[in-house]
Amino acid sequence: MTLALIALAVALGSALVVGWAIRRRSGVLTSTSTGPDDPAIDTSGLVLSGTGPTIVHFSAVWCGPCAAVRRVVNQVCGELPDVAHVEIDMDADPGAARRLSVLSLPTTFIFDADGRQRYRGAGVPKAADLHSALAPLLA
């Protein structure tokens, strides 16, 4: 009986640590390499802006956190009028999700005016993080 309780405590502790690590990374935007030697990403059909950065986020009707991403991105785009916003329903356009290797929802990308992917994040990003990522692209 004691061994079973110890095993249960270890399993619960491990689950707690894994859950904490996943939540800690949720919404964090990661810079993606955009050097001249990087392979080109197929952005056809994404309707990226040619005059400024574009925030692209993948969502689905059944995804609860996707509504929060929509609110944050709409707020940031309202504050930065030179930033375009494209929302792609993963169920309606699974090809775009495959081309960009979207494995979870919500997933957010930031592309520069030249159509190069600059940032990527899964989960709900913070408005301040979006502002920080977009600032150098607007300069």
Question: DSSP readout, 22-67?
Answer: HHHHTT--EE----TTSPPP--TTS---SSS-EEEEEE-TT-HHHH
Instruction: Pull the structure tokens for residue 133.
Output: 């990522």
Neighbours of 82 (CB within 10 A): 13
Radius of gyration over every alpha carbon of the chain, rounded to an integer in angstroms = 18
Please report whether residue 106 resides in a domain. Answer: yes
Measure Cα distances from 106 to 19, 39, 65 in Å. Answer: 17, 24, 7
pLDDT for res 17: 61
**How many domains, in total, are found in the chain?**
1
pLDDT for res 53: 95
Please report whether residue 21 resides in a domain. Answer: no
pLDDT for res 1: 72
pTM above 0.85, yes or no: no
Query: Could you say which residues of the chain have pLDDT below 70?
Result: 13, 15-27, 33-40
By C-alpha distance, which of 97, 108, 111, 96 is closest to 45? Answer: 96
Q: What is the domain-level CATH number for residue 62?
A: 3.40.30.10
Please report whether residue 77 resides in a domain. Answer: yes
By C-alpha distance, which of 124, 120, 125, 115 is closest to 52? Answer: 115
By residue range, what is the domain housing residue 98? 29-138
